[in-house]
């Protein structure tokens, strides 16, 4: 049972991401199967295509985005002024490579909007509401659990 508002919001954002993923995955899978690809290979190819070519919204909440983007911007300013470098663990970002790439992509978009005169808050809000990610920031194994929940403990074949 989901207790807190943050947990509920996180779950809703994940469901929205999954819905966007499946909206692109299903037609891709159908097209590959129509071309004669075996279903198992078609599933894997459709997952990989969808992850790499999907352009979903950023499914993160504003508060988390503000914390992560601010820390990355702050780390950039410290490096520009020759202050000591911040390590990943010091800026308290997620450890996964894909998650880090997502935060860096959001930060780069915010940085570009700031150069146009927007505040950090307005830039983050604009990116989250109007911009699309360059890809789905999930692994094929995670994507497979969205397609076939019973495969949660199985490796992708």
The fraction of the chain above a pLDDT of 70, given in percent, is: 80
The answer on pLDDT for 123 being more than 80 is yes
The answer on pLDDT for 82 being more than 90 is no
Average pLDDT estimate for 21-36: 95
The answer on pLDDT for 156 being more than 50 is no
User: Each residue of 41-51: pLDDT tens digit?
Assistant: 999 999 999 99
Predicted structure pTM score? 0.78
**Which H helix or E strand runs over 107?**
helix 97-115
What's CA 82's distance to the chain center, in Å? Answer: 31
Question: Among 96, 97, 91, which residue's Cα sits nearest to residue 77?
Answer: 91
Phi, psi for 78 (deg, rounded to 5)? -65, -40
- Where do the structural domains in the chain lie, given as residue ranges? 5-56+135-151, 62-130
Partner residues linked to 57 by β-bridges? 132
User: Each residue of 97-120: pLDDT tens digit?
Assistant: 888 999 999 999 999 999 999 999
């Amino acid at each position: 049972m989901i207790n807190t508002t943050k947990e509920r919001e996180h779950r809703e954002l994940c469901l929205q991401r999954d819905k966007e993923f499946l909206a692109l995955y299903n037609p891709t899978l159908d097209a590959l199967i129509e071309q004669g690809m075996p279903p198992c290979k078609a599933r894997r190819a459709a997952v990989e295509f969808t992850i790499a070519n999907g352009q979903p919204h950023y499914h993160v909440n504003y508060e988390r985005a503000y914390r992560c983007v601010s820390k990355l911007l702050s780390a950039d300013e410290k490096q520009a002024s020759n202050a000591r470098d911040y390590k990943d663990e010091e800026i308290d970002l997620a450890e996964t490579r894909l998650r880090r790439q997502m935060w860096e992509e959001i930060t780069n978009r915010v940085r570009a909007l700031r150069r146009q005169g927007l505040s950090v808050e307005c830039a983050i809000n604009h990116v989250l509401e109007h911009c699309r990610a360059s890809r789905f920031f999930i692994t094929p194994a995670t994507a497979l659990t969205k397609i076939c929940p019973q495969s949660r403990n199985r490796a992708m074949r």
